[in-house]
């Protein structure tokens, strides 16, 4: 079993030749992005601009999350993209550089979103270290994803983040699928997608 990947090139050939269970378990990163787009729609019902911090451009999860967000966000929401590398430090540096640009003063950002919680919190730290305009930026909703109980969900509870997307762990599902396939002698589906969810629920998010 392969975790955190879909469309594994060699699976079709191996599954055709051998009865051994071969499959992958991952999250639908497109759906993760769609949930973030829905969160943005709740937070910005009248439209606006989002500062969006992506992961590496050559990473499939990053690409799929952006596709999902673009598909789900309202048409009256403009997305300004910064590039990170999944770490809080990379988001901190990206935001610090952005704040030096003239456009940072011209565009009125309504939400700061990131493709994981670490980058969302790193972006928040960059605004906390500003000399001027700090209070305005820190009043904005910051949203991320991963949603681990002791990091992303805790950040929502303490007010550092407005929302996150909970991405369930894959290993437990993978072990259960493997056990079932070995017990029944039937192949699992080639790719199994775990189900992400909004934290807090979308219905509880209110415009800022």
- The string of pLDDT tens digits covering residues 121-156 is 999 999 999 988 889 999 999 999 999 999 999 999
pLDDT of residue 121: 98
Q: Which domains does the chain have, with CATH numbers?
A: 2-204 (3.40.50.2300)
The residue written with tokens 């690409």 in the block is 63
Which residues have a Cβ under 8 Å from the Cβ of 101 and sit 6 or more positions away? none
Cis peptide before 200 (omega within 30 of 0): yes
pLDDT of residue 122: 98
The residue written with tokens 């565009």 in the block is 107
3-state secondary structure of 41: helix
- The string of pLDDT tens digits covering residues 194-207 is 999 999 999 999 99
Record the tokens describing residue 57, joined without a space: 């451009």
The residue written with tokens 């991952």 in the block is 26
Which residues does residue 109 pair with via DSSP β-bridges, in sequence order?
A: 49
Record the tokens describing residue 169, joined without a space: 């762990």
Phi first, then psi, for residue 133 (nearest 5°) are 80, 5
pLDDT of residue 29: 94
pLDDT of residue 133: 82
pLDDT of residue 125: 97
Phi first, then psi, for residue 202 (nearest 5°) are -55, -40
Low-confidence ranges of the chain (pLDDT < 70): none
Closest residue by Cα to residue 7 from 26, 20, 33, 31: 26
Which residues have a Cβ under 8 Å from the Cβ of 133 and sit 6 or more positions away? none
pLDDT of residue 86: 97
pLDDT of residue 83: 96
């Amino acid at each position: 079993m392969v975790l955190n990947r879909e469309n594994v090139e060699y699976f079709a050939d191996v599954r055709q030749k051998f009865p051994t269970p071969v499959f992958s378990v991952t999250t639908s990163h497109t759906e993760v992005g769609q949930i973030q787009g829905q969160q943005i729609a709740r937070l910005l019902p009248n439209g606006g601009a989002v500062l969006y911090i992506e992961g590496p451009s050559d990473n499939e999860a990053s690409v799929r999350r952006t596709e999902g967000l673009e598909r789900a966000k309202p048409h009256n929401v403009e997305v300004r993209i910064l590039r990170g590398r999944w770490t809080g430090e990379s988001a901190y540096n990206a935001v610090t550089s952005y704040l030096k640009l003239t456009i940072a003063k011209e565009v009125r950002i309504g939400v700061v979103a990131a493709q994981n919680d670490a980058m969302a919190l790193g972006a928040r730290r960059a605004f906390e270290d500003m000399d001027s305009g700090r209070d305005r930026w820190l009043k904005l909703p910051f949203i991320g994803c991963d949603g681990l109980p002791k990091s992303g969900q805790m950040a929502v509870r303490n007010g550092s983040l407005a929302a996150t997307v909970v991405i369930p762990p894959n290993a437990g599902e993978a072990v259960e699928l493997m056990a079932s396939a070995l017990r029944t002698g039937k192949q699992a589906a080639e790719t199994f997608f775990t189900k992400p969810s909004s934290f807090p629920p979308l219905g509880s998010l209110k415009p800022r």
